[in-house]
Amino acid sequence: KIAQATGTLFGGRHSLVRKTQKSFDASTVGSNLWDFMLPISLLILSTVVEILISGEFFIFGGANGIVQTLLTANIPVALFKSSFYTVVIASVYFIFRKKIQFKDLRLISKEGWALMWSSLLFLLLIWTFGAILKNDLKIGAFVAQHITHINICYLPVILFLVSGAVTTLMCSAWG
């Protein structure tokens, strides 16, 4: 009854939680589907292009085919560059369309960093650990040698459990 009468759950009183700083409220700005799709499309397109460039794909002046390009591409650098391009271009686009103001970029960046730092740290640790497993411990040769002892029927279950563990441990911003 209180919520229906007052519009809050606090019976007309203010909540006990204090806000320490202003938060950017995107709901006050009218948005459309294009505002959502542009940054995502730009990120995907620029990531693919950067991977092909770093792998020296023949379309971009290199000598490699698609398979060799994917094997030699520098994926972390390509992801960094494409993310940077996307943030800069999307920010300029939204400022130009008056969806955000230039003075709000600092606050938006701070909130974005707070949301994503654990995922970025996890990716950095994965890349570091992956390089150690591949180059120093030669884990690929070990698995290839011992995979004959595993029944192929259990492979989907093993892959599901490993991917579930990685997803759970990541604790990312997407859930």
Residue 25 Cα distances to 42, 107, 155, angstroms: 24, 11, 46
Highest mean pLDDT among 40-44, 115-119, 156-160, 170-174: 40-44
What confidence tens digit (pLDDT) does each residue in 60-114 have?
888 899 999 999 999 889 999 999 999 999 999 999 988 889 898 999 999 988 8
Above 60 in pLDDT, residue 22?
no
Which residues make Cβ contacts (< 8 Å) with residue 57, sequence separation at least 6? 64, 65, 66, 69
8 Å CB contact between 73 and 51? yes
The single-letter DSSP state of residue 171 is: -
